[in-house]
């Protein structure tokens, strides 16, 4: 069976998608095209490059170590300094460490540019704050006078995963004007529409995997300071946008995976907690696939 695959954003919770990939591998399901946002774009890029679920799982210590190192850079600085840094740099961390790490992992599979991948096999979404528009990569590299085929996959992931205020925006030039690019989740946290736009998936089913909170109750967020205000603003935009636009027919293609409430930048997960997220993804996907296979047999 061949499918097109969509991963939502979700910060550290995207570890769950490793379990999804594991279940797909066990069922012998091949992936033709992948679309993702933010952390979903990161997992999607590794998968598109040829990494297996086991290999991605083995990378988790490196990824979490990278996050820990970033957190430690400013732990001893006073709060006012952090805000001063955000004011001037527009983000607490540069994101360069993440991009360099991903560049190395992709190069190990012979991937640097989108031209190193099958054409159209990987797409991701970012948000251009300067232009006030959604950016689909690599296609929209043309908007910045760049050749989409020669656009860096790692840089595209960094653009898609640049969580506002946590990471500095990625700066792209269009002529003489600088554009600031941030996390794709600001405008579309679940870009299933990217694979539906040109109708190319009519002969290949699309399966989407979207993370959702295990707490179904409506709850008010506590907003006691500017940090919590920004966090609430971003989460509201991220969660509400795609939910209103998912049609009933699309929802039939989507597995909503319940995961614990975690901050997108939570870097202190234990090995046990990470493996628990992976198992949630694997178990839910196995059940989902068994249901789809059974339904398909009934139709035949």
Res 265: pLDDT: 56
Per-residue pLDDT of the chain (300 residues; tens, 9 = 90+): 899 999 999 888 899 999 999 999 999 999 999 999 999 999 999 999 999 999 999 999 887 666 545 544 555 455 545 555 555 565 567 788 889 999 999 999 999 999 999 999 999 999 999 999 999 999 999 999 999 999 999 999 999 998 887 788 999 999 999 999 999 988 889 999 898 866 554 678 899 999 987 665 555 666 666 656 666 666 666 665 666 556 655 666 899 999 987 766 566 678 898 999 999 999 999 999 998 877 767 665
Q: Is 183 a catalytic residue?
A: yes
Out of 38, 160, 162, 231, the active site residue is 38
Q: Which of 223, 93, 240, 258 is nearest to 167 (CA)?
A: 93
CA distance 226 to 230: 6
SS (H, E, C) 100-127: HHHHHHHHCCCCCEHHHCCCCCEEEEEE
Structure tokens at 278: 């992976």
- In residues, how long is the chain? 300
Res 34: pLDDT: 98
| Residue 183 phi, psi (nearest 5) | -45, 130
Task: Give, for 93, the enclosing helix (H) or strand (E).
Answer: strand 91-93
Q: Is 152 a catalytic residue?
A: no
CA distance 159 to 184: 8
CATH for 2-286? 3.40.1090.10
CA distance 61 to 134: 32
Per the DSSP assignment, residues forming a β-bridge with 167 are 93, 164
Res 286: pLDDT: 96
DSSP character at residue 187:
T
Structure tokens at 264: 């997108």
| Residue 242 phi, psi (nearest 5) | -70, -30
* pTM, two decimal places: 0.86
Other beta carbons less than 10 A from residue 236's beta carbon: 11
Out of 128, 140, 183, 242, the active site residue is 183
> Contact, 32 vs 62, CB < 8 A?
no
CA distance 68 to 73: 9
């Amino acid at each position: 069976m061949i499918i097109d695959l969509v991963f939502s954003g979700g910060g550290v919770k995207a570890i769950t998608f490793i379990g999804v990939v594991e279940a797909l591998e066990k069922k012998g399901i091949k992936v033709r095209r992948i679309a993702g946002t933010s952390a979903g774009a990161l997992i999607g890029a590794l998968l598109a490059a040829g990494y297996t679920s086991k290999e991605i799982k083995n990378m988790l210590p490196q990824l979490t170590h990278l996050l820990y190192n970033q957190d430690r850079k400013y732990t001893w600085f006073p709060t006012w300094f952090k805000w001063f840094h955000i004011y001037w740099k527009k983000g607490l961390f540069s994101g360069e460490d993440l991009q360099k790490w991903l560049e190395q992992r992709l190069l190990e599979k012979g991937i640097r540019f989108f031209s190193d991948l099958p054409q159209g096999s990987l797409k991701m979404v970012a948000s251009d704050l300067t232009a006030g528009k959604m950016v689909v990569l690599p296609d929209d590299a043309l908007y910045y006078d760049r050749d989409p085929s020669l656009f860096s996959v790692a840089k595209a992931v960094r653009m898609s995963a640049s969580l506002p205020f946590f990471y500095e925006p990625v700066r792209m030039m269009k002529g003489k004007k600088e554009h600031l690019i941030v996390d794709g989740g600001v405008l579309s946290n679940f870009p299933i529409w990217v694979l539906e736009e040109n109708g190319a998936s009519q002969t290949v089913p699309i399966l989407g995997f979207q993370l959702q909170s295990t707490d179904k109750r409506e709850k008010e967020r506590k907003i006691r300071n500017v940090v919590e205000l920004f966090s609430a603003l971003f989460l509201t935009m991220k969660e509400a946008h795609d939910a209103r636009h998912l049609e009933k027919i699309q929802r039939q293609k989507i597995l909503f995976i319940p995961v614990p409430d975690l901050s997108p930048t939570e870097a202190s997960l234990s090995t046990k907690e990470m493996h628990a997220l992976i198992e949630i993804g694997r178990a839910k996907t196995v059940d989902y696939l068994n249901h789809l296979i059974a339904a398909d047999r009934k139709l035949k």
